[in-house]
Amino acid sequence: MTPEPGPMVEAKNLVKHFPGVFAVKELSFSVGKGEIFGLAGPDGAGKTTVIRLLAGVMPPDSGTATIDGIDVVRDPEMARQHLSYMPQRFGLYEDLTVDENVRFYADIFEVPVALRDQRIGPLLTSFGMEPFRKRLAGQLSGGMKQKLGLVCALIHTPKILLLDEPTTGVDPVSRRDFWKILYGLREEGVTILISTAYLEEAERCTRLALFHQGTMAYCDTPANLKAKMPGKLLNIASTESREIQKRIQSLEGISGALLMGDHVHVAVDDDQKRIPEITRALSEAGLPFDPVTVTEPTMEDLFLALLKTKRTSP
Amino acid sequence: MRWGRIRAIAVKETIQIRRDTRSLIIALFMPFMQMILLGYGVSLDIKHLPVCVYDREGSQNSQALLKHFQASEYFSIVAVLKNYREAKAALDSDRCRIVITIPHDFSQKLSDSGGSTVQVLADASDDNTANIAIGYAQSVVNGFAGNLAVAAQGFGGSPAMQNQGVDLEERVWYNEDLDSRNYIIPGVVALIMALVGALLTSLTISREWERGTMELLISTPVQPSEVMLGKLLPYFAIGMLDAVFCLVFSVFWFHVPFRGSLFALFLTTSLFLVVVLGVGFLISAAIKSQVGASQIAVLVTLLPTSLLSGYAFPIDQMPTLVQGVTYVVFARYYVTILKSLFLKGSGLEDLARPVLAMGIYALVVAFLAGRAFKKRLD
């Protein structure tokens, strides 16, 4: 009889405050094996602190965090055997080559030398980094650096990856490559906790936690989160999008308007009722615009709308 | 503690040192520079001191005495004066450091009573030099005739120094030529080792904080003591290399005798390195910026070592309170040991006390350094 598999990552009532601010307030959640658990939210929402608490590099004021059942606060060294943490700031040695960095982390995690040398080649090849083995890490591009960080994180085959905004400052193509790798790891059963400031990236997670001022406002699958969005979202395309965004805020039944280039996304309580009203108001103002349509919310719309309801509800 | 992880840190650190010009300069070039600068620059010997003479007699005898002064390597006569006013002016204007005055009845007294007096007026604003100069003058006069006395009068500084009129037969041990370089160089070696050791290691932890590599390092299972050992091993090797260089340079370039055992030198140098590297590491762990850490490192090594270790300024001449302070200065013990090893050829058993003191120091510092750096972010 095999025991019921527990959560790979679990936080219970985690609290951390810095002088003057609560970075994390009474946070509890758990992540199951093979999940890609996303932490999204604006800067300063507490994402980095949560990941640091889980990685055991920062002690919480109270509460517990466990990694594969091991208490991170009480037994950090044991927990560290099973996890890999990639800090937001590039943490590898820029004056060491790609090879030297990988070997260093393998040795720190006591990967046997034979196994280490057997792993390095295929890992670097699968990440497209084989040609850069002798290059200093400091001379790699942003995307390459992050991939190298991931290679170093994976060299000891951890069960859990904690990634703090790994794709910030990385070009879209490399970002897509990076996510391909993450999906591959998930197939292999690695549990991934990733924070991101890019909300379109958040949609790729299996579950997503929306952070706001140190608390987890929502935590669900991206699809369920979208379903939670109250009302409907309208799309108005216009060359005068900025002007439209400004005027439309004052109309009745509109909870928010988000400018997205030459589009405006407008959150309304009822599309049937509001589309004619908006069309009329904008026509009277003499602004040019394409027919108003109902659209799928992006993560950004969702985030704003959800936080708004959170704030207005008692 | 796992050897594999210690080695990983040591290998990484070695690669970083090799690629860091600043570390290489400190490790390899600074000992050479300091050896040259301090070896040549700091000398307590007085040679060719400028002297004025006021010969009131002008006889064959008096001229013969002055020739003795001229021939001595300690003095060079820069002017002949005609009266006391000129003598005072010469001292005031720094034309000379001492004025030798031969009385008008010099020859007569010498033949009458068999003893005469020569007056030396010394600029005692630098009383150390004045004292030495008067001593040298005495020996020159003695060399001319045993029954001559020097009546010395100091200006400006401490009270007049009087010659006691007793002839001493001197025999100097350990540094027979009384060459101050032999006395200084062993101290210079200690100074270099302290500075280089502490300066290099002061950068090692602060560099990781500054470059953002620490956060990743502390998320790994590596132990603080493993980090310390791994980081200090390469610097220990560099320190030993520098020690060998200093020894070779002292003996073959400056011709300072080395009379002790190489084993004793190796052992005591190892202890001293543990102390200085540990101190550098402690500073580095406490101060998270490289600039700050290196400045503190210079402050706690260079100043106490050069002033309070007895490297140039004898500890037993210091005020009692300051003497007490010197016991905290770790370089003090190493300077004592080095001077004994170089000049006296003492064995380890003669040096038991300073060696023991340094051993205790090394243990305490190593213990503190092992716990200094915390694996957590603030």
Work out the minimum CA distance from B208 to partner chain A, whole angstroms.
9
Name the residue in chain B with its Cα closest to that of A78: B221
User: Residue A283: which CATH number?
Assistant: 3.30.70.100
Asked, for residue A116, whether it belongs to a domain, the answer is yes
Mean pLDDT lowest among A42-46, A52-56, A203-207, B89-93: A42-46
Give domain status of residue A291, yes or no: yes
- Specify whether the backbone of A69 is left (phi greater than 0), alpha (psi in -120 to 50) or beta: left
Please write the tens of the pLDDT for every residue from A60-72: 999 999 999 999 9
Q: Which domain holds residue A238?
A: 230-296
Tell me if chain B has a CB within 8 Å of the CB of A59: yes
B114: left (phi over 0), alpha (psi -120 to 50) or beta: left
How far apart CA B128 and CA B130 sit, in angstroms, is 5
Spatial neighbors of B252 by CB under 8 A, at least 6 apart, are none
User: Which class for B48: exposed (0-12), middle (13-18), buried (19 or more C-beta within 10 A)?
Assistant: exposed
Residue A311 has a pLDDT of 58
Per the domain annotation, does A114 fall within a domain? yes
In this prediction, residues A247-275 reach a mean pLDDT of 83
3-state SS of B264-291 is: HHHHHHHHHHHHHHHHHHHHHHHCCCHH
- In percent, the amount of chain A with pLDDT more than 70 equals 96
Is A193 a residue whose pLDDT tops 90? yes
Residues A57, B211: C-beta atoms closer than 8 Å: no
Q: What is the pLDDT of residue B70?
A: 85
Q: Which residues of A touch B220 (CB under 8 A)?
A: 80, 105, 108-109
pLDDT of residue A217: 84
- pLDDT higher than 90, residue A115: yes
Q: Which of B19, B214, B221 sits opposite A80 (nearest CB)?
A: B221
- Residue B147 has what pLDDT? 53
Whether residue A79 is found in the same domain as residue A163: yes
- Break chain B into its structural domains and give their ranges: 3-42+179-372, 49-155
Shared domain check, A137 and A92: yes
Average pLDDT, chain A: 87
Per CB distance under 8 Å, which residues of B are interface residues toward A?
Answer: 2, 4-5, 7-9, 11-12, 15-16, 19-20, 211-223, 375-377
Give chain A positions within 8 Å (CB) of B207: none
Positions of chain B with pLDDT under 70: 42-45, 114, 145-179
Contact A52 B8 (CB under 8 A): no
Mean pLDDT of A123-142: 92
- Residues of A with CB below 8 A from B4's CB? 107, 110
Residue A174 falls within a domain, yes or no? Answer: yes
Query: Rounded to an integer, what distance in angstroms lies between the CA atom of residue A142 and that of residue A168?
Result: 9
In this complex, the residue of A76, A77, A85 whose CB is nearest that of residue B216 is: A85
Q: Tell if the CB–CB gap between A81 and B2 is shorter than 8 Å.
A: no
Q: Give the per-residue pLDDT at B145.
A: 67
pLDDT digits (tens, 9 = 90+) for B65-97: 888 888 887 888 888 888 888 888 888 888 888
Cα B301 to Cα B299: distance, rounded to the nearest angstrom: 6
Q: Closest approach of chain A CAs to the CA of B374, in angstroms?
A: 10
Q: Which residues of B218-232 are buried (b: 16+ CB within 10 A; e: fewer)?
A: bbbbbbbbbbbbbbb
Which of B15, B216, B217 lies nearest to residue A96, judging by beta carbons?
B15
Count of pairs with CB atoms under 8 A, one residue in A, one in B: 75
Nearest to A59 among B15, B213, B376 (CB): B376
Q: Just give the CATH number of B49-155.
A: 3.40.1710.10
Helix axis angle, B60-71 to B127-144, nearest 10°: 130
Mutation target vs A (from B24, B203, B209, B215; most A CBs, 10 A cutoff): B215
Question: Across the interface, do B221 and A55 touch by the CB < 8 Å criterion?
Answer: no
**According to the model, what pLDDT value does residue B149 have?**
63
CB contact under 8 A, A80 and B219: yes
Residue contact B375–A57, C-beta within 8 A: yes
Q: Is the same domain home to A243 and A189? A: no
Domain-embedded: residue A303: no
pLDDT tens per residue across span B273-283 = 999 999 999 99
Which chain A residue lies closest to B230 (C-alpha atoms)?
A: A108
pLDDT for A117? 92
Q: Is A57 close to B215, i.e. CB distance below 8 A?
A: yes
CB-neighbour burial class of residue B277 (10 A; exposed 0-12, middle 13-18, buried 19+): buried
CB-nearest partner of A81 from B5, B7, B221: B221
Contact with chain B for residue A86, Cβ under 8 A = yes
- Among the residues of chain B, which ranges form H helices? 3-19, 21-24, 30-41, 60-71, 84-92, 106-112, 127-144, 180-211, 214-218, 224-248, 262-286, 290-308, 320-326, 330-339, 352-372
> Is the CB of A107 less than 8 angstroms away from the CB of B5?
yes
**Closest-CA distance of chain B to residue A204, Å:** 26
Are A110 and B2 inside 8 Å of each other by CB? yes
A98, A140: one domain: yes
A134-143 pLDDT tens trace: 999 999 998 8
Give the span between the Cα atoms of B156 and B129, in whole angstroms: 13
Cα(B285)–Cα(A252) distance, rounded to whole angstroms? Answer: 61
Across the interface, whether the CB atoms of B221 and A59 are under 8 A apart is answered no
Q: Tell me if the pTM is above 0.90.
A: no
Burial-class residue B121 by CB neighbours within 10 Å (0-12, 13-18, 19+): buried
Check if A91 contacts B (Cβ < 8 Å).
yes
For residue B286, the distance in angstroms to the closest alpha carbon of chain A comes to 18
A211 and A240 belong to one structural domain: no
Say if residue A244 is in the same domain as residue A105: no
Q: Residue A249 and residue B221: Cα distance in Å, rounded? A: 54
A249 and A112 housed in the same domain:
no
A309 touches chain B (CB under 8 A): no
Nearest by CB to B222, from A84, A96, A108: name it: A108
Cβ neighbours of A83 in B, within 8 Å: 219
Which CATH number belongs to the domain containing residue A24 in this structure? 3.40.50.300
Q: Do A85 and B219 touch (CB under 8 A)?
A: yes
Asked if the Cβ–Cβ distance from A57 to B7 is below 8 Å, we say: no
Q: How many domains does chain A have?
A: 2
Residue A101 C-alpha, separation from nearest chain B C-alpha, in angstroms: 8
Q: What is the pLDDT of residue B171?
A: 55
Q: What is the ipTM of this complex?
A: 0.82
Phi (first) and psi of residue B283, to 5 degrees: -60, -45
If we measure between CA atoms, which residue out of A212, A170, A204, A172 comes closest to residue A86?
A170
Per the model's pLDDT, the better-predicted residue between A182 and B139 turns out to be: A182
Are the C-beta atoms of B96 and B71 separated by less than 8 Å? Answer: no
Report the chain B residue with the minimal C-alpha distance to residue A103. Answer: B8
The answer on A176 and A280 residing in a single domain is: no
Cβ-defined contact of B216 to A87 (cutoff 8 Å) = yes
Indicate if the pLDDT at residue A101 is higher than 50. yes
A114 and A258 part of one domain? no
Interchain pair A107, B222: CB under 8 A: no
Cα separation values, B14 from A113, B234, B370, Å: 19, 6, 20
Residue B160 and residue B121: Cα distance in Å, rounded?
Answer: 9
* Chain A contact set for B7 (CB, 8 A): 107
A39 touches A195 (CB < 8 A): yes
What pLDDT score does A247 carry?
A: 84
